Structure 1
């Protein structure tokens, strides 16, 4: 018996953020540190959840650095 399971989606959400000193190297906008959560679902069933921090640009949304 063969069973195939495909990755349906992976979402990244910002739980909260606060501004930090510095600017974006891509667009020059302000930076903020954000608490992120990544959720992975296989075949529409929640499978994996991970929390981490990232420094993001407030203007273009680029992820400048991430911390696990």
Structure 2
């Protein structure tokens, strides 16, 4: 029996941020609206990416709400 194992990873990057009204419910830090990019790689070759907006905490980095 032969078993193959491949490396698959996913990264999330923030490209732009703008301040937003409100506070984080987890740590109490400020909130900002961010343009996020998600890239999924298979054996170090990107094969799927997606751009979306999210409200992110500026202190702890938690995603409070996402708009896809």
TM-score scaled to structure 2, two decimals? 0.89
Shift of 1:31: 0.1
Is the 1:5–1:42 Cα contact (8 Å) retained in structure 2? no
Shift of 1:65: 0.4
Q: Hey, what's the Cα distance between the residues in 2 that align with 1:21 and 1:53?
A: 16
Shift of 1:19: 0.4
Q: 1:59 to 1:52 in 2, by over 3 A?
A: same
Matched, 1:66 2:66: yes
RMSD: 1.6
Q: Number of paired residues?
A: 67
TM-score scaled to structure 1, two decimals? 0.89
Structure 2 residue runs without a partner (length 5+): none
The aligned counterpart of 2:10 is: 10
